[in-house]
Amino acid sequence: MSNPTPPPGYGPQDPQQPGQYGQPGQYGQPGQYGQQPGYGGQPGYGQQPGYGQQPGQYGQQPGYPQQPGQYGQQPGQYGQPGQYGQQPGFGPYGQPGFGGGIPGNLAAWPNRVGAWFVDALIIGVPSGIGSAIAGNTNNSALAIIGLIFYLAGIGLAIWNILIRQGGSGQTVGKQVLGLKLVGADTGQPIGVGKTFLRQLTHILDGAACYIGYLWPLWDEKRQTFADKINNTYVIKL
Q: What is the CA radius of gyration of the chain?
A: 42
Residue 194 lies in a domain: yes
Residue 142 lies in a domain: yes
What's the domain count of the chain? 1
Residue 193 lies in a domain: yes
Residue 160 lies in a domain: yes
Residue 148 lies in a domain: yes
Q: Report pLDDT digits (tens) over 26-83.
A: 444 444 444 444 444 444 444 444 444 444 444 444 444 444 444 444 444 444 444 4
Distance CA 193, CA 177 (A): 24
pLDDT at position 181:
97
Residue 199 lies in a domain: yes
- Domain containing 118 equals 109-236
For residues 85 and 157, which has the higher predicted lDDT (pLDDT)? 157
pLDDT at 234 over 80: yes
Residue 223 lies in a domain: yes
Residue 79 lies in a domain: no
pLDDT at position 136:
78
